[in-house]
Structure 1
Amino acid sequence: MRKTRDIARAAVRAQLAQVAFELFRRDGFDRVTINDVAGAAGVSRNTFLRYFETKEDAVLAAFDARGERVAETVRARPPEEEDWTALRRGLDIVAEEYRRDPAGALATALLIRQTPSLHARNLEKQCGWRPLLAGALAERRHSGSVRSGPVRSGELDLLVRAAAALDCLDIAVDHWTAADGRPDIGDLLDAAFAALAPPALTQATAAP
């Protein structure tokens, strides 16, 4: 029964997010209110707020679990693989989402980058990915043992690498968006990572 409720809740959440996104694209994010979205979706304002705390969350809801999926992919990479390569391969999850629905991904990226509050909220969410990715790297460093709590002071380098990887993602997405989604996002990620990788790792990072 609980699983059925969870599925139904996820379906309503997705429908509300889609209605909100279409309104934001048509009328402009700042001009659309929560009441507008609720009315267009045929629900009350309170119902909308049970699913999303803000308008920004309605746009970025699909990103909530992305950091966890990237961290899981990094954690599952071969233990002998260099951290920078593991981070690049972890972001294949994001690249695949862009390839699966390039038109939708481009529309979302444009809306985020043209709306200061959305851009700021998106960066805030990505900052939350840093400890997830650093933790995944730490587990690989310690033979895959499960870790909890903050990264230790001696593992500051892992947070730096995680932050740098996310900066590479942002730059790749910026270039992809500016080019109307024509380049392959994976190629842009490869180029961004190669700019920071030691020469010996440049080829390995780009390899599947």
Structure 2
Amino acid sequence: MADTPTLRERARRAARAEITATALQLFAENGFEATTIDQITSAVGISRRSFFHYFGSKEDLVLGDTEALGESVRAALEARPEDESAWTAVRAAFLTIRPADRTPEEQFVLARLHHEAPSLRARHLEKHLRWQSLLAPGVQRRLGLPLTPDPDPRALAFVAAALACFDAAVDAWYRSGGADDPVRLFDEAVATLRA
């Protein structure tokens, strides 16, 4: 049986969700770079201090908790059957990234922000570097490479290529106006790499 969240945890989640929804609306109207933390806090009715209690930065509103998300992808990768290929296991792990709590419209706004805001692109690249180190050991094992204290460069390159395919799929989905299927786009990008 899963642990039931406490009242405090539910209140914290609700507050984060309200702040995020308000910020996304402001970002959609004004752009990410032009929207300030003060505008967000004013619209939500909280102090700057309260904002930083929930989020470390404005970028965190869009990117979420990249460390926790990376850990969840790593756990999903580790949970895949041992006989799955590295590509199959990584694909399944990446599918866990799809936010069930976001509407298609919110997902599209997030993709647009990623596409347009230089500071988000930079943070996104930082996330990729952390995820390479995080996911490489699981990929290394699936590639049949010997375990090493530091990730094997081939496993790091594999994860970097998978993340590049993921980004290319999301960018193509965004350019299609949200009409295309991002999973199909990812699969096509991977197929091109594997050809």
What range describes the TM-score normalised by the shorter chain of this pair?
0.7 to 0.9
SS at structure 1 position matched to 2:180:
coil
Higher helix share: 1
1:172 partnered with 2:169: yes
Select 1:159's aligned residue among 132, 135, 156. Answer: 156
Between stretches 97-106 and 170-179, larger displacement belongs to: 97-106
Which residue is 1:128 aligned to?
A: 130
TM-score (norm 2): 0.84
Q: Counterpart amino acid of 1:104?
A: E
Find 1:97's aligned residue among 86, 96, 99. Answer: 99
Q: How many residues align?
A: 190
Q: Which residue of 2 aligns with 1:185?
A: 182
Name the aligned partner's letter for residue 29 of structure 1: F
Q: Tell me how far apart the structure 2 counterparts of residues 99 and 17 of structure 1 sit (CA, whole Å).
A: 12
The runs of 5 or more residues in structure 2 that have no matched partner are none
Offset at residue 172 of structure 1 (A): 0.8
Structure-2 separation of matches of 1:53 and 1:77: 32
SS in 2 for 1:13: helix
Runs of 4+ in 1 over 4 A off after TM superposition: 138-142
Q: Which has the higher contact order (CA 8 A, sep 6+)?
A: 1
8 Å CA contact 1:74–1:89 kept in 2: the answer is: yes
Counterpart for residue 20 of structure 1:
23
Q: Secondary structure at the match of 2:178?
A: coil
Shift of 1:131: 1.8
Deviations 1:10-29 (A, max 9, x none): 22122111111111111222
Distance 2:150 2:133 in 1: 13
Overall identity of the aligned pairs, in %: 38
Return the letter of the residue paired with 1:51: Y
Please provide the CA RMSD for this pair.
2.7
Q: CA deviation at 1:100?
A: 6.9
Match of 2:10 in 1: 7
